Copies of this chain bind each other. A is one copy, B any other.
């Protein structure tokens, strides 16, 4: 059976998402998979993603690690409508021991 190279779930973040909850999810996925992916549409949701990544950095720094992120534009569907959103790849900072 062929296994997918990776099957990471993308964390979808909205304006209503709590940054601390998203940060906990990021840290959990990073600990298991080494990287996490998030998507958001609109300034309010993107703001929550950025706050969550900043918080997740403090969680990981307490474990002697650190995070970096790579934002990119992505076409997403929202309520049947095509929207341009942002995709965030979050990964451990290279050069820091796991």
Q: Which residues of A contact B (CB under 8 A)?
A: 42-44, 46-47, 50-51, 53-54, 57, 66-73, 86, 93-95
Contacts and interface: CB of A to CB of B under 8 A. Distances in A.
Given A44-B43, A47-B47, A57 B72 contact: yes
A30 to B, nearest CB: 14
A47 B57 contact: no
Contact of A94 (B69, B70, B72, B95): B95
A50 B54 contact: no
B46 A71 contact: no
Given A50-B46, A50-B50, A70 B70 contact: no
A69 B66 contact: no
